[in-house]
Amino acid sequence: MTGEIEFDEMLDVSSLKGVGDVTAKKLREAGINTIQDLMLYSPIYISELTGIPVERAEKLVLQAYERLKDLGLAPPDFASASDIMERRKARKYITTGSHNLDELLKGGVATQAVTEFYGEFGSGKTQICHTLAVNVQLPEEQGGLGKGAIYIDTENTFSPDRITEIAYHRGLDPNEVLKRIIVGTPYNTVILLNMVKKLPELIKKYDVGFIAIDSAVGPFRAEYLGRGRLSERQQLLNRFMHDLVRIAEVYDVAVVITNQVQERPDVIFGDPTKPIGGHVVAHAVTYRIYLKKSKRPNLRIASIIDSPEHPPGEAVFAITEKGVTDPED
Ligand code: GTP
Ligand code: MG
């Protein structure tokens, strides 16, 4: 209709009060195109990225937040418990491929959340990521979202052959499935952090519903060695984790990160069942799942750790040519 602002224009940074051509250009150069993108960063960080004074960045963030609430794209500041329940219901779930594991997770891997799978080598973390990258593409009635995936592969273990096999055994066209998985291979944490900044654009461009980061914590541990660099590492890890949480919430995608356990015999107090990353990772992730091997070579045991929404429990799943499945499936 003439004279009315289109929905997309309401989401563009240039539609905010006080954003002229120059400010809009600065924001765009920093990868901030929409008011949703503005919600990803703190005003201090926006100021660092763009050169806009912090006070102005603060005003822009607040204005963007009000706009998102008006448009129904952000929850109100205060809400009744029943409204919160409604928003939770809007959460969608991607099937892991195993009913047992889905049940443990109350439906599968959730959008608007960061789910961490951690465990020792060979416990199935990479296989879960591969299976989810295929399953997200299934239609909703089959446990998918009918959307694409982004796979950030920090360990060089992403395998198109394995995707082909899993897709084939689930009745999907492997070539179509491969086309809808966008793979990033960062060589170091600087590139990894930079890739995270590009995620919003990629999510929109490729209609993405699932993001895997395999492994997420490993690169930080590898690069920031020793006690002397611990606080620097934790600071970066903190920003990384918070960016992921915001992206999951703002863009309604399911984010899965993988992590290893502290299995260093030289560290006396290293608990072999504890994930790496300390409080920073523990506080940021929405759900943590601990994976263990079992006596049967293709079976794995998953336990949910410290979840406010899930009773403690375990699930047994299998890894086969189909990817993740139930035992005897
Ligand atoms: P790290 O990355 O080393 O910490 O381990 P991870 O937890 O990522 O282990 P991953 O997911 O790679 O699981 C490895 C296990 O999955 C292997 O030990 C195999 O048992 C199984 N597996 C891997 N690839 C295949 C496959 O193509 N077919 C089948 N049937 N099983 C596989
Ligand atoms: Mg792996």
How much distance in Å is there from the Cα of 92 to the middle of ligand 2?
26
Question: What amino acid is encoded at 74 in this protein?
Answer: A
> Scanning the structure block, which residue is given the tokens 């799942």?
289
Condensed to tens digits (0 to 9), the pLDDT of residues 268-295 reads: 555 667 888 888 898 889 999 999 999 9
Average pLDDT over residues 231-258: 91
Condensed to tens digits (0 to 9), the pLDDT of residues 4-30 reads: 556 678 889 999 999 999 999 999 998
Banded pLDDT at 2 (limits 50, 70, 90): very low
Average pLDDT over residues 206-220: 95
Nearest-angstrom CA–CA distance, 100 and 106: 10
Residue of 98, 126, 165, 293 with the most ligand 1 atoms within 8 Å of its CB, for mutation: 126
Q: What angle do CA 211, 215, 216 make, to 5 degrees?
A: 75
The per-residue pLDDT for 267 is 58
Residue of 101, 116, 120, 127 with the most ligand 1 atoms within 8 Å of its CB, for mutation: 127
Q: Phi, psi (5° rounding) for residue 89? A: -65, -25
Condensed to tens digits (0 to 9), the pLDDT of residues 63-116 reads: 999 998 888 777 677 777 887 788 778 899 999 999 999 999 999 999 999 999
Banded pLDDT at 125 (limits 50, 70, 90): very high
Output the CATH code of domain 2-70.
Answer: 1.10.150.20
**Contact between residue 134 and residue 170 where contact means Cβ atoms under 8 Å apart:** yes
Q: What percent of the chain has pLDDT over 70?
A: 94
How much distance in Å is there from the Cα of 163 to the middle of ligand 2?
14
At the topology level of CATH, where does 91-325 sit? Rossmann fold (3.40.50)
- Which pair of tokens denotes residue 294? 């079992």
Ligand 1, atom 14, lies closest to the CA of: 122
**Contact between residue 114 and residue 244 where contact means Cβ atoms under 8 Å apart:** yes
Ligand closest to CA 132: 1
**Contact between residue 68 and residue 84 where contact means Cβ atoms under 8 Å apart:** no
**Contact between residue 296 and residue 119 where contact means Cβ atoms under 8 Å apart:** no
pLDDT higher at 7 or 162 = 162
Which atom in ligand 1 lies closest to the alpha carbon of residue 127? 11
- Ligand 1 is surrounded, with C-beta below 6 A, by 119, 121-127, 162, 260, 298, 319-321
Residue span(s) of the chain under CATH 3.40.50.300 come to 91-325
The per-residue pLDDT for 315 is 97
The per-residue pLDDT for 226 is 78
Q: Which helix (H) or strand (E) covers residue 317, if one does? A: strand 314-320
Which atom in ligand 1 lies closest to the alpha carbon of residue 320? 30
Residue of 261, 294, 319, 324 with the most ligand 1 atoms within 8 Å of its CB, for mutation: 319
Helix H segments across the chain?
Answer: 7-11, 21-29, 35-38, 43-50, 54-70, 81-89, 99-104, 125-135, 160-169, 174-179, 189-206, 218-223, 230-251, 278-284
Helix/strand/coil (H, E, C) string of 48-61?
HHHCCCHHHHHHHH
Nearest-angstrom CA–CA distance, 195 and 188: 11
- 52: nearest Cα among 33, 34, 25: 25
How much distance in Å is there from the Cα of 150 to the middle of ligand 1?
20
